[in-house]
Structure 1
Amino acid sequence: MTSNEIRQSFLDFLESKQHTIVKSASLLPDAPNLLFTNAGMNQFVPIFLGQSNCPYQPGRAADTQKCIRAGGKHNDLEDVGADTYHHTFFEMLGNWSFGDYFKQEAIDWAWELLTGVWGFPKERLYATYFGGDDKGEADLEAKEMWLKYLPEERVVPGNRKDNFWMMGDTGPCGPCSELHVDLTPEGNCGAKMVNADSPQCIEIWNLVFIQFNADEQGNFNPLPACHVDTGMGFERACSIIQCTKGFTDFSGVISNYETDVFTPIFQTLEEMSGKKYGSSMTDPADIAFRVIADHIRCLGFSIADGILPSNEGRGYVLRRILRRAVRVGRALGFKDAFFYKLTDTLADTYGDAFPELRTNRDRVEKTLKAEEESFNRTLDRGIELFEQVVDGLEGKTFPADEAFKLYDTYGFPLDLTEVMARERGLAVDAEGFEKLMNEQRERARADYAAKKSVIMAETAGLDVKPTEFVGFQTLESEALVEAVTPGEDGTYNIILDKTPCYAEMGGQLGDKGTISVPGHDDNDVGTLEITDTQKQGELVVHVAKLVSGRAPEPGEGVLVDVDAERRADIQRHHTATHLFHWALHKVVSEDSRQRGSLVAPDRMRFDFNNPEKLSDEQIAEIEKLVNEKIEAALPVYAQEVPFTEVQKHPEIQQFFGEKYGDTVRVLQMGGTSGSFDGFSMELCGGCHVSNTGDIGKFKLMSESSIAAGIRRIEAACGKYADAFIEEQKTAAAEAEAKAKELEEKKAAAKARQAEMQSQAPAIAEELLTKVKDGLLIENLGDTDAQLLSVIMDALQPKLESTVAILGGVSDGKVALVCAVTPDLVKEGKNAGKIVGAIAKQCGGGGGGKPDRAQAGGRNPDALEAALAGASELI
């Protein structure tokens, strides 16, 4: 059977058992704590946890799930290429029961498919079950069911690590039962090789029986309904069926890579490299074949699902995988970009089962090409420097300072240095590298702190309580002065017990406003203008300039007012960043995430990862979607909720690797407050409008690149968007007018040129009358180089013992042409030198042959004088 037939026969078999065939979930998981979808059951977790109802009737489902295990808890990256079965990307065939059938059916159907449909030899199969320990009893129920099909010596007890599955420290869990296949040539591996990490006896299918709920005290309580979760490695199933020639010959290599899952990619690599895959576990070229074939699947499927390489989180894992593939490509002789060229083979091989590879083929290819070309520039220099260090190395440790130099100066990733060092039997001083990194971070922090040195110096060590922010509820407030310190240029740094002023944070600029000091009489009051609001730890520092009267003193009460119009403009732009983020996901990619932002009164700036420039069509579509939501005047809710509540709603955008407090602020647009049913929901602590209609028109003003794979847009809302649009209209009108004026000038010049060209013979005849003592020097005025050349063409054959120099000016540029008759050339006269010297006086240059040359200049005002002195040059 082909791999496509194996996959389809699995789904057909389960469908015959009344399972709903479910489409594979995206590799981009809903759960924020996962880097990638790494198991078939990921998309069904809400059903198992009781957070959503089972949509299938009966409660059964089956699928083939795209999975990645690279980075995080499940990481197979370093093993890929070194053996026959490890992958970063793989397919997991699985079937599930949600409170419907249980152990008996799962075991019966697993046996029926393997032995009855696919024909696995029964004598080569082993089953395991949970053998029990001090925390739980043995699953003798599953054991008895297996004894119906297998002799007791091939029904093997397993420990908790191998045969008891838990979703986490608490929650649904239960014993599992695995089927293992004896791949030894003689078929006599014995029970001792089961779960012994041997490639000659491997697990093919894991049946998990979810029947308990683990509580925080370590108790395992029966669930009200029992579930089944199974998983079978698709690539392993293909290797056992295909590499044994339908179970008739177990003497050869049984490898996932020796199947038609991978051979189309190998064939393309062979054509590209001129090398042949030889199945060796030690040959660098064969290892490279396996690494590249695995990694193109991982990258291709990920990018098709909208996950893009970047410098953080799951995007960085992909970038590492791509770089590893590119580097090992050197073993196949690839110096230039090659990896992206495998996109077509990938789409052709897997496109029937996963049509998203064909739909997003262009995105995959462009992303891979951009990443690969960027890294190739780094790779060449990095490898050269690495080898130089290794050649002069004494000992077995690659120095931290050299690793840091490779990273900091040449952009060479540490993990790649570690891989290359490992291949040479070396270790990298990672601890020393991290120390150098920390020193660099401290320098960066110091540079940043220097910009706010006065605030930091003056507020450090103050014994004051944290500032209470009340600016979500009000824009004016009474407050008690906690501290006043002098700032730069006559300003004051004022700390209050509470404030309505938002301190600069998360890209949103700090508020401006006023502080009023009420006194006992007119001579005792004061007014200060708040020019900025900054955060220093848990303190809010108001940078204020004295406008009149006096500054406040510690312990004194003041009135604080936020500049309401400025805050409103900021709120419009901040809410618009979320609308833009939502539209970006719709139009470009779900994995195009924020990489930085600025929210100002007059504009917003948003940085995001994307491998290429947004097209005009994408920009237009994003603007359209954002403005549609604005025109719909939808409610905007900013609500503080426990983070534990947010974790129950994976649709709320939280970013992998971010740390959140016990209480977070959720910005929801649309839907009903508290229901978490908005079209856009993100964690955000900034200030926002209460209705999308308050934003006004949204307009993208620019799009640019700020780093490899990072794009930046600037946009404006409301009156600032209107002003920008008017500026565009004005600029367009001016450009149109200038273009029209230029066309008219060109038309006039063309007409004049045509006229003068027709008159060239007559002009030449007239110029002949002006030859005096073998010299002709004439300024023809509004004439360009082409016309001068035409006139000289008509004039030159009629010259006798003459040096002729013609000049003119067109569009602010000087044009010159010089001709010297043959007899004077013999005497040493040179047209090139003559015209070059004249052009130099006009701010230009030129030259040519001794008998004919032309030149130009940038200073028309100098032409007359230059021609007047030309006779002295001859």
Structure 2
Amino acid sequence: MTPEEINEKMEGITFDHPTWPMSKIRQSFIDFYVQKHSHVFWPSSPCVPHDDPTLLFANAGMNQYKPLFLGTCDPALEMSKLKRATNTQKCIRAGGKHNDLDDVGKDVYHHTFFEMMGNWSFGDYFKEGAIDMSWQCLTEVYSLDTDRLYATYFGGDEKTPADEEAKKYLLKHLPASRVLPFDAHDNFWEMGATGPCGPCVEFHYDRIGGRDAADLVNADLPDVIEIWNNVFIQYNREAGGELRDLPAQHIDTGMGFERLASILQGFDSNYDTDIFMPIFKAIEIVTGASPYTGKVGEKEDMGFKDMAYRVVADHLRTLTFAIADGAIPSNDGRGYVLRRVLRRAVRYGRQNLGAELGFFSTLVPTLVKLMGDAFPEIRKREEFVINIIKEEETSFSRTLDKGLTKFNDMVKVTEGGVFSGANAHFLYTSMGFPVDLTELMCEEKGLKLDVAGFDAKMKEEQELSQAAHKAKMSGGSGKEMVLEAEQTAALVTRGCQVTESEAKYTWNADIDSKISAAFIGRGETDDKTGFVDSITTASGAAGLIFDATNFYAEQGGQIYDQGTVTCGDAVFRVDNVQVFGGYVLHLGEVVKGTFSVGSSATLAVNYIRRGPIASNHTMTHVLNYALRDVMIGKENIGSDDGPQLDQKGSLVDDQKLRFDFSWGSQVTVDQLAKIEAKCLAQIQQNIKVHTFNAPLADASQISALRAVFGEKYPDPVRVVSVCDTPIPEILKKPTEEIWKDYSIEFCGGTHLDKTGEAEAFVILSEEGIAKGIRRITAVTQERAREATNAARGFALRVKAAEEMAGAELQDEAKKLKLELQTLSISCISKHDLGTALNGLQAKVKEWQTKQMAAKVDGAAEACKTSVEAAKAAGKNKCVVRYDFGCDGKTAQKILKAVAKDVAVMIFSADAGAGKYGCFASSPKVAGVDCKKWIADAFDGIGGRGGGKPANAQWQVEGLDSLDAAVTKAGSI
């Protein structure tokens, strides 16, 4: 059934609640904080946190504000200026620390995707203000019955005192009998083992009312539920477990949108609200299942039909939002989680609702219609989401068949009734099998899955990845060379200003700057901050922070600068440069002398190394322009209606450029040739590269603008254009279509002055790295020239080979084919050269065919006399010796020509290989068992072989036994 047919069947059915439709619930919250309490509406971040590798998905409203809590927010970003904020955040809890995936469907209040309505204060109001606003919102905006509200606070433990301050403010609104203390498990929030943390206040609601429900709070019952959590971030947890007061205190609150909707709309279940009912109706229509009835449990929910409804609807939301926000199902990380979610939904839909393969993707338009106004990004990416889900559904059916075969093979050798974690891990990594599917199949076979063993294998992979990242950051020293909350707070306390880094855009100029901090690694000093007064050669891996720098810190896909710092005779080698909250940390080692805080030093960037980096970065921008121009056309740039091609990441270093983008199929060779030609044309035109800091709102209006999805940009933002028109002139008429003829992007990287400095451009490869995601790798300058010269040289060899013939051509063609596979040249040239080699292979094959025909004719003629003699003597078999090598195909052609009336056994030596072969064939009239004949002939001689009565073969290493074997075979 098509989405259009689903919409037609749903026409006229009303789902909105008459008093509290979901859109009103959402907007009322935002209006309350914006209009009455001066908060800034700060839109939801993507549920895929592209800039936070510690999270699989955004799992709470505070995630995007983490840099503010950690003190690592770039001062140039608009976010750094926030004091109060509010929004409704898209959240996914389907992996990592917060994972509700296995609970979804089993009850009526768990979700993998949900909205978290929240308000935040960054060093502004604190506990009293947060509690008063929450109470006012619950009781005045939403008019909740105050007699049904309960609040919990942190009751303290042996290490941390009770939060009596929060209790005092709660007692302004609630009687003591409904203000309840709980331990750290329920009422103390921590980001991790170390870092910002603090006590929290939770508001709970009794759905039934008219009773004392204090004993039911935090009892995990659906009738008394937590609806709002107010976290008071006031401490920093140190490495040793000690709590220290933060220099600034913050508020982080989150209220479950779906739970609040169920209360306001008068339902006991989140799934009975207008958030889900339209999706349920669409599921009913597309699957033909009986309507959703809201039942739970094996006894009531026969066949787990309602559970399947909940699973499919919830997982549809998760996948639609995650894919729209840039994640793709795969076998790794968040991609694996999404694949697991999708396959779980498809399995429940098909097994429990009777759905046909392909049903899941047809539900996407229903969700887009339902939530596209609040979150327009899913409307913009609707077609892309549908295509990705459709592909995944199709591949799942193929994977299921292959995986089941492999699983059954593994079961046959399983001992002790336990299916190993290693085998489950193989099914996951090689077959994309979600571990819960493997566990379910094990149960059906009466086996127990070694979940702990699977988890151990997953943890081993994770630790290897983390160790690699730590080694990169520490230069292999094993130290933690990163700045976190306690480091940035310590720098602020010491009066260190963030690093002035505008000089990084100036070329070929050393600068003098004062050393503001010296760092030897987190936890390496008594106070654990890692800061010292000076560093020497004995310090090992170390870092320096300066008042100002001309070094580029790794960010935006561009690799860091390298170089040296000198202070008198002292020398510091800079191997890596990173930025934390505006502080640029120069990582490396002291080569000679001492570097002390407060001293002036000279910073010298290795500009020779930076040259190709800048070239690769500028040409990445040009590639982005050329790619869109060729693939979607200028008329679709900036349009939501035409085909979409979005940047999904990039990497720029001194060796290459790598560009990832969303596209549903392989880019053809013709398209790549056009893209490469456009890039080369821009180099030949030697176009000026302009940079300009412009107001974000103004720059965002430029018609040709290409911004990375999910990226946060400062205001003002740095605009980079590959266009002879200066950017201020472009900003005077930003919506003109003419700008679509040029590359214009937001970028903080280092660039060329003119495109001609890139000298050359070669696309080395184009490949798929995930469903719907392609990757182009290219080179410029010297590496591009090397690739071009290598292609020319190889082409000359191919041309020379065209003049060859026979065995010479055969050897050269084979050699050229192997070399082409590993040759670093343009993929367009590689395709053309591959085509040329195919022509050579055709000539080789033609020659080989003639050679074989000649061999067969020669052998048949040579054997003819012996065969005729055997026939004349009344024998039914004949043994001959004719050397043509040990090729079985040639032997069969010869035997077919001569073994017509008698059985024939041919012995053939391959002197070059130092071995010989024996081949026998018998027509039915001869009545000879060739398998037995050849086995008897080589009994006691050795070798290996076999066959059937009508045809058999044997092979022996060495030639010493050849004559004896011929004689023995002839005597049998």
Query: Could you tell me whether the CA contact under 8 Å between 2:151 and 2:180 is conserved in 1?
Result: yes
Change in Cα spacing, 1:109 to 1:267, as seen in structure 2 (3 Å) is: same
Alignment of 1:524-535 (within 5 A): none
Counterparts of 2:375 and 2:344 in 1: how far apart (Å)?
25
Change in Cα spacing, 1:116 to 1:716, as seen in structure 2 (3 Å) is: closer
Q: What is the identity, as a one-letter code, of the residue corresponding to 1:60? A: R
Q: What is the identity, as a one-letter code, of the residue corresponding to 1:201? A: V
Structure 1 position 278, deviation (Å): 2.3
Change in Cα spacing, 1:243 to 1:274, as seen in structure 2 (3 Å) is: farther
Does 2:377 match 1:324?
A: no
Alignment of 1:339-488 (within 5 A): 339-380=360-401, 382=403, 397-398=418-419, 412-421=433-442, 426-429=447-450
Q: What is the identity, as a one-letter code, of the residue corresponding to 2:35? A: S
Structure 1 position 220, deviation (Å): 3.0
3-state SS of paired residue (1:270): helix
Counterparts of 1:24 and 1:622 in 2: how far apart (Å)?
38
Counterparts of 2:187 and 2:680 in 1: how far apart (Å)?
51
Counterparts of 2:151 and 2:343 in 1: how far apart (Å)?
40
Q: Quote the residue 1:857 is aligned against.
A: none
Query: Could you tell me whether the CA contact under 8 Å between 1:69 and 1:77 is conserved in 2?
Result: yes
Structure 2 runs not aligned, ≥5 long: 1-19, 462-608, 629-636, 638-643, 692-706, 710-717, 722-744, 796-825, 833-972
Change in Cα spacing, 1:293 to 1:437, as seen in structure 2 (3 Å) is: closer
Change in Cα spacing, 1:98 to 1:628, as seen in structure 2 (3 Å) is: farther
Q: Quote the residue 1:215 is aligned against.
A: 238
CA displacement 1:36-89 (0-9 Å, x = unmatched) = 222111222222333446759882111001111222222111111111122221
Q: Quote the residue 1:170 is aligned against.
A: 194
More divergent stretch after superposition (37-46 vs 400-409): 400-409
CA displacement 1:99-120 (0-9 Å, x = unmatched) = 2222222111211111222121
Q: What is the identity, as a one-letter code, of the residue corresponding to 1:193? A: L
TM-score (norm 1): 0.54
Does 2:32 match 1:13?
A: yes
Counterparts of 2:324 and 2:62 in 1: how far apart (Å)?
21
2:296 to 268, 281, 286: 281
Q: Quote the residue 1:43 is aligned against.
A: 64
Change in Cα spacing, 1:589 to 1:192, as seen in structure 2 (3 Å) is: farther
Counterparts of 1:41 and 1:706 in 2: how far apart (Å)?
31
Q: Quote the residue 1:268 is aligned against.
A: 282
Change in Cα spacing, 1:423 to 1:229, as seen in structure 2 (3 Å) is: farther
Q: Quote the residue 1:108 is aligned against.
A: 132
3-state SS of paired residue (2:199): strand
Q: Quote the residue 1:118 is aligned against.
A: 142
Alignment of 1:13-32 (within 5 A): 13-17=32-36, 18-29=38-49, 30-32=51-53
3-state SS of paired residue (1:235): helix
Change in Cα spacing, 1:240 to 1:702, as seen in structure 2 (3 Å) is: same
Q: Quote the residue 1:783 is aligned against.
A: none
Structure 1 position 358, deviation (Å): 0.8
Q: Quote the residue 1:476 is aligned against.
A: none
Counterparts of 2:177 and 2:457 in 1: how far apart (Å)?
57
Counterparts of 1:436 and 1:73 in 2: how far apart (Å)?
17
Structure 1 position 698, deviation (Å): 3.1
Counterparts of 2:82 and 2:425 in 1: how far apart (Å)?
58
Counterparts of 1:355 and 1:618 in 2: how far apart (Å)?
32
Structure 1 position 345, deviation (Å): 1.0
CA displacement 1:249-303 (0-9 Å, x = unmatched) = xxxxx12111111111111111000112222223422222111111111111111
Q: Quote the residue 2:476 is aligned against.
A: none
Q: Quote the residue 2:106 is aligned against.
A: 82
Query: Could you tell me whether the CA contact under 8 Å between 1:166 and 1:172 is conserved in 2?
Result: yes
Structure with more relative contact order (C-alpha pairs < 8 Å, separation 6 or more): 2
Q: Quote the residue 1:612 is aligned against.
A: 665
1:159 to 183, 186, 194: 183
3-state SS of paired residue (2:99): coil
Counterparts of 1:35 and 1:134 in 2: how far apart (Å)?
34
Change in Cα spacing, 1:680 to 1:83, as seen in structure 2 (3 Å) is: farther
Counterparts of 1:376 and 1:260 in 2: how far apart (Å)?
33
Counterparts of 2:763 and 2:199 in 1: how far apart (Å)?
56
1:191 to 196, 204, 214: 214
More divergent stretch after superposition (138-147 vs 603-612): 603-612
1:679 to 742, 747, 762: 747
Change in Cα spacing, 1:619 to 1:358, as seen in structure 2 (3 Å) is: farther
Change in Cα spacing, 1:612 to 1:193, as seen in structure 2 (3 Å) is: farther
Query: Could you tell me whether the CA contact under 8 Å between 2:280 and 2:292 is conserved in 1?
Result: yes
Q: Quote the residue 1:780 is aligned against.
A: none
Query: Could you tell me whether the CA contact under 8 Å between 2:650 and 2:658 is conserved in 1?
Result: no
Change in Cα spacing, 1:131 to 1:424, as seen in structure 2 (3 Å) is: farther
3-state SS of paired residue (2:345): helix
Q: Quote the residue 2:358 is aligned against.
A: 337
3-state SS of paired residue (2:53): coil
Alignment of 1:49-60 (within 5 A): 49-52=70-73, 59-60=83-84
Structure 1 position 312, deviation (Å): 1.7
Query: Could you tell me whether the CA contact under 8 Å between 1:308 and 1:610 is conserved in 2?
Result: no
Counterparts of 2:124 and 2:611 in 1: how far apart (Å)?
56
More divergent stretch after superposition (388-397 vs 155-164): 388-397
3-state SS of paired residue (1:83): coil
Q: Quote the residue 1:480 is aligned against.
A: none
3-state SS of paired residue (2:236): strand
More divergent stretch after superposition (359-368 vs 705-714): 705-714
Q: Quote the residue 2:160 is aligned against.
A: 136
Q: Quote the residue 1:539 is aligned against.
A: none
Q: What is the identity, as a one-letter code, of the residue corresponding to 1:417? A: T
Change in Cα spacing, 1:91 to 1:652, as seen in structure 2 (3 Å) is: closer
More divergent stretch after superposition (425-434 vs 68-77): 425-434
Query: Could you tell me whether the CA contact under 8 Å between 1:210 and 1:227 is conserved in 2?
Result: yes
Structure 1 position 157, deviation (Å): 0.5
3-state SS of paired residue (1:243): coil
1:698 to 758, 761, 765: 761
More divergent stretch after superposition (607-616 vs 44-53): 607-616
More divergent stretch after superposition (186-195 vs 694-703): 694-703
Q: Percent identity?
A: 47
Change in Cα spacing, 1:580 to 1:182, as seen in structure 2 (3 Å) is: farther
Counterparts of 1:41 and 1:568 in 2: how far apart (Å)?
37
3-state SS of paired residue (2:202): strand
Structure 1 runs not aligned, ≥5 long: 245-253, 441-566, 636-650, 654-667, 672-676, 683-687, 735-874
Query: Could you tell me whether the CA contact under 8 Å between 1:580 and 1:622 is conserved in 2?
Result: no
Counterparts of 1:571 and 1:16 in 2: how far apart (Å)?
48
CA displacement 1:581-619 (0-9 Å, x = unmatched) = 98899984454678xx9999xx98888886533589999
Does 2:328 match 1:293?
A: no
Change in Cα spacing, 1:430 to 1:60, as seen in structure 2 (3 Å) is: closer
Change in Cα spacing, 1:301 to 1:424, as seen in structure 2 (3 Å) is: farther
Counterparts of 2:366 and 2:113 in 1: how far apart (Å)?
16
TM-score (norm 2): 0.49
CA displacement 1:144-183 (0-9 Å, x = unmatched) = 2111221111100011121122233333322210101112
Q: What is the identity, as a one-letter code, of the residue corresponding to 2:307? A: I
Change in Cα spacing, 1:417 to 1:574, as seen in structure 2 (3 Å) is: farther
Task: Name the Cα RMSD after superposition.
Answer: 5.0
2:253 to 222, 230, 244: 230
Q: Quote the residue 2:549 is aligned against.
A: none
Q: Quote the residue 2:120 is aligned against.
A: 96
CA displacement 1:444-496 (0-9 Å, x = unmatched) = xxxxxxxxxxxxxxxxxxxxxxxxxxxxxxxxxxxxxxxxxxxxxxxxxxxxx
CA displacement 1:322-374 (0-9 Å, x = unmatched) = 12222222122224112111121121111111001111111111111122211
Query: Could you tell me whether the CA contact under 8 Å between 2:646 and 2:661 is conserved in 1?
Result: no
